[in-house]
Amino acid sequence: MHIIPAIDIIDGKCVRLEQGLYNRKKVYHEDPSQVAKMFEDHGISRLHLVDLDGAKANQVVNWKVLEKIVSETSLLVDWGGGIKSRKDLDLVFSNGANQVTIGSLAVENPVLFHTWLEDFGNGRLILGADLKNGKVATRGWQEVSDLPWQDFFKTHVTQGVKCIISTDISKDGMLAGPAVQLYSSMLKEYPEIHLIASGGISSVDDLEVLKDVGCFGAIIGKAIYERRITLSQLKPYI
């Protein structure tokens, strides 16, 4: 199972939110590139980089943070947030992202998303499934659609989506454990997907449970920043 630390960005700084609420923000570092270097120094090879300003603005905002991290580390970066046009997508790829996670656009314009999937391949585009009470949330989690995850998955997996990052918003930033039952249901219905769990991870025990369920990867954010999980404890998973 791949360990993927998260760096969420607001105003160019490394932050974390609770349950996706922008008014429940905590700044952990002024320079995200320093955090990325720390991860790399401990053997981490992947990074989930989220442009929270971009998600809210419906366009990529913090691409210079991506550029700096890519130029100063060899991390494989997955970018999320603000991808609403081909211009956004090209901007992020041209500044060094290895993969891009698409969430809101895949809800609002699935045909365009499928075109990109065909153009770039399912190795570079990840489907972002951010859920609240089982329904897909969009626009930086500020809006919740009527679309259940089952229909969302069916629409896109049948078109070739291989990798999915799924976040249970109620768990995110709360350090209360991941949505194990939800992920188990997803993998039971779609055993062929690479499912990356996100939200709620608070201990190494949580990682063991997600590994047993069959998750392809686990995104860890607040648990690292609050030292619930040390980078040394992640060594066996790297």
Residues contacting residue 33 through CB under 8 Å, at least 6 positions apart: 65, 68, 69, 72, 73
Q: Is the pLDDT of residue 140 over 80?
A: no
pTM over 0.75: yes
- Whether 90 is catalytic is no
Q: How many CA atoms lie within 13 A of 205 on its CB side?
A: 5
83-96 pLDDT, tens digit per residue, is 999 999 999 999 99
| Res 141: pLDDT | 64
Number of domains in the chain: 1
DSSP-derived secondary structure letter, 5: E
- Whether 119 is catalytic is no
Whether the CB-CB separation of 98 and 77 falls below 8 Å is answered with: yes
Q: Is the pLDDT of residue 55 over 70?
A: yes
Query: What is the domain-level CATH number for residue 212?
Result: 3.20.20.70
Mean pLDDT of 125-151: 87
Domain span including residue 226? 2-237
Whether the CB-CB separation of 197 and 159 falls below 8 Å is answered with: no
Catalytic residue among 53, 78, 88, 130: 130
**Of 49, 67, 68, nearest in space to 10 by CA:** 49
* Confidence label for 234 from pLDDT (cuts 50, 70 and 90): very high
DSSP H or E run through 143 = strand 143-148
